[in-house]
Every structure is written in C-alpha cells, then in structure tokens.
Amino acid sequence: MTISRRDFIQIAATMGASLAWAGPEKISPARWRERRDLFPEGVASGDPDPHSVILWTRRPFDRGQRHVLTLEVAADEAFRRIVATAPAPVSAAADWTCRVLVAGLRPASTYWYRFTDEDGNGSRVGRTITAPDPGDARPVNFAFVSCQSVNDGTLNAYRRMIFEDEKAAPSDQLGFVLHLGDFIYEVVWYPEDLATRYDRKIYEVARIPGGEKVGNLHLPLTVEGYRAVYRGYLRDPDLQDARARWPFVAMWDNHEFSWQGWQSIVKAGSFERPGQTVKVAANQAWFEYLPARVARPNSTSLESFEPPAVKDVAIERFDADGLGDEPNNRIAIDSLKAYRALRYGRQYFREISGNGIDFGYPVDGKCTLAYSRILDDSEIVIALNLAATERADYITVDAHLNGDGAKLKNLLDPRAQFVVEARGRRNAVKVPLAAHSMAILRQT
Ligand SMILES: [Fe+2]
C-alpha cells in the first residue's frame, strides 16, 4: 500500500505531530554542536511503520513561549546523507516537548536524527528503525519492558539490553522495544521519608508540585506534577540511551494515571476522590513525553495537547458495561485514545481450581495464574505458580480447541505432557508447577 503525502499530513494532524517528508539526500545545513545539557531528557522515537516514525525531544527555554528547532534525519550516523529536514516547534504549552512524524522513509531501515535550536545547540544523536514491509518474510526481534521504577533502583536493565544488542549479529538485533506500561510510577517516595525498601536504597525521582501525600507516598494531581515525574524518570541515563537507540512502541497501564485508580477516579490507599482533571493531566503528560500514534479527540493543535475542561464530579451511576456515565468522566477518559490491537487472536484470563470441581479466578498471590492466547485454531496456555510452594491446580482450556483427552506439552519442558479432562461444564488440565515456576502449554 502506498500512502500519499496528503494522507500523512492528515495522520500527523490527528495525532498532534508536525510532519517531515523524506526526499533526496542532501548535506546538512544546520550548525549542530552537541549540547546535551540543553536537551536534558534526550531524544526518542516511537511507533514506526514501514514508511514513517515519530521523533521526539525536549528543549526547555528560559525566555519566550515558543521556539522552533530544526530536525534532521539522515541515512548515516555522521549526517552526510540527510534525507529530511523540518522545523520542530517547542512551546511552554507542551512543556517544551515536540513530536514530528517523519514520513517517506524506506522500510526496515536504520536512520539517525538530531534536533538543533536557533543558536546551533544540538541534541544528542538518536537512532531509529522503520518497520518492515508486510510482505517481508524476515523475522523482527523485539524486547518488551514494563513496570520501571526509578524509586526502587536505576533502570540498568536497559544497559544490559544495549550491551547485548551491540554485540549481536545484525539479524539478531532488536527492531523495537515494546513498553507494556508503567513507564512511570506516579506514586513517589522521597528519600527523606523512606530510606530503603526491601533493603534497597530509595532513589530520588522528583519533587511533585501540587500533589498529595498519603502515608509516605507523594502523588501528582496536576499536569505539572506528572511532568515532574516524567522528567525524573528520563534523567535515568540508561533509559535515555535506550530511547536514543531503538524506537519504542508504548502503551499505558495503571500507574501512568493512578496506582489503584480506575476510569477517572484517583485512588491510592486511603486516598480516593473523583479525578477527572487528574486523568486529563495524566494523559497530557503521557502525550507530551511519549512519542506515539495516539489521538486527542478534543484538540486540533499540532504543537500542544489542549486539555479539555472538566470538573472533578462524583461518579455515582454506571451503565450496563460499568462505565460511569458522568459526562466529565467520559470526556476525561476519551481525552487520549490509543489504538493498539492484536490483529489476530484473542486472550483470556483463565479460571482455576484446586480440586477440579470449584473453579474461579485467583483471589490472592499464592495460586496458579493462567491465561490463554488463541491464535487462529490453536490455544497457548500460560501458567504461573505465584506461590512459594509446589502446586497442582486445574486450569480451564478452550473446550472446542482442546477436547477431552487432548494432550498438551510444556514448551519450556517438552517431556512434560498434560491430558485435558472434562470437568463438569468445562475442560481443564491439571498442571503441577514447582514454586514460582512457569509453563507454556500447547497441543502436541
Ligand atoms: Fe507495574
């Protein structure tokens, strides 16, 4: 499929990015000299497709409300072969972050990019990789990450990923990093309130303006508060280097908004309140700090989020699907939309049973946790024993795909076989698991 320049202008507008279009190679016109101190959160790229990717940086200024950087994208690390140059506006309204959709790129290709301000001060150089064409038979490698907590320890897992990727053969190197959420933990400890946790030192993340303190936890309630947490996380040098090395495909989880929150209700331990304004603030900061193909239904600006006006109103009535029908709740939830979808297959959380008769979902952390992925006509069951002791629980399977007597093997230990049994109305399989161990089951 060919996508026209006009289509890309439309796409960029939908997700609030400016557009750069790749053309014939040129020599760099910018007077770039690296000043990492002026771009303290580094650079990043996100959501590559075969012909485009979103590029990101942050350049805070002391003066003025808006400045324009120059973005350069090159086919070589030395920037002798520039394929795209574009203005990249940054403004106080977006906390000095910018997003540019670069289009017209070649599939499965590596590019380098950098930003330069009006005085020639430059960001570090980032590297990104476009997705392969749908017809490309070569596999794509990726790593997934989630739940990164700077409070609990620096993010040096990224250092290991980078080290291994640099040593790997080109065909074994990563094409992207999938971030499954909890890019931040919005609940933050200050080291003076809590020195250690699990015997580990508590690291400074941020001071949260306008937040709330619940026990020892500080949590943000305003966009400035969330921004402070993102900046605190992005000061981690390993995270910065990872974002500069690979494109990230990112989705949010709970902590991008609120630890125990749901819809637009903020909840952290004993603290609970309607938080429509908080939900919008969390979405705004996510939008500003993570380059991603997301839509802001309430905004048309290419340069800033334009938060919708909402009020923190109690949410008391819920529709048949459990969605609070308080209007501010709907606006807050819809203020940022992502369209991540499995193109194929379904996923189910599975009921379990200790005795093979009474089935239910897990109620504590001392059980077998199981879920199924159904792809086309096969079921893959993932079972985790969360307990510190051996367990042998029954796990529900799909009765159509895994009938009575079907044999499953553990892909992690192919000698281990399991036979599906009819247990009342459901089919299930009994899976013995050592403490804290895991099985991946599939029909033999
Ligand atoms: Fe998490």
Q: Which two three-digit tokens encode residue 94?
A: 């977006």
In this predicted structure, what is the pLDDT of residue 436? Answer: 92
Whole-number Å distance, alpha carbon 146 to ligand 1 midpoint, is 7
In this predicted structure, what is the pLDDT of residue 341? Answer: 59
Q: Check: pTM over 0.85? Answer yes or no.
A: no
Residues 298-320 have pLDDT tens digits of 777 878 899 999 999 999 999 87
* Region 99-115 average pLDDT: 96
Domains of the chain, with CATH numbers? 5-138 (2.60.40.380), 157-338 (no CATH), 346-443 (2.60.40.1180)
Which residues pair with residue 170 across a beta bridge? Answer: none
Output the DSSP codes for 43-57. EEEE---SS-EEEEE
Residues 126-142 have pLDDT tens digits of 999 999 998 999 999 99
Whole-number Å distance, alpha carbon 356 to ligand 1 midpoint, is 31
Rounded alpha-carbon distances, angstroms, from residue 88 to 76, 116, 221:
21, 9, 29
Task: Give me the chain's average pLDDT, please.
Answer: 93
In this predicted structure, what is the pLDDT of residue 82? Answer: 94
CB distance 15 to 338 below 8 Å: no
In this predicted structure, what is the pLDDT of residue 348? Answer: 87
The listed range with the strongest mean pLDDT (23-27, 119-123, 322-326) is: 119-123
Q: Where are the beta strands (DSSP E) in 337-398?
A: 337-338, 346-349, 352-353, 368-375, 378-385, 391-397
CB distance 328 to 276 below 8 Å: yes
> SS3 for 15?
coil
The C-alpha atoms of residue 213 and residue 188 are separated, in whole angstroms, by: 9
In this predicted structure, what is the pLDDT of residue 262? Answer: 94
In this predicted structure, what is the pLDDT of residue 6? Answer: 81
Whole-number Å distance, alpha carbon 178 to ligand 1 midpoint, is 14
In this predicted structure, what is the pLDDT of residue 310? Answer: 97
Residues 327-363 have pLDDT tens digits of 999 999 999 988 765 566 778 899 999 999 999 988 8
Least confident of 80-94, 180-194, 259-273, 294-308: 294-308
Whole-number Å distance, alpha carbon 94 to ligand 1 midpoint, is 26
* Region 56-71 average pLDDT: 96
Whole-number Å distance, alpha carbon 437 to ligand 1 midpoint, is 20
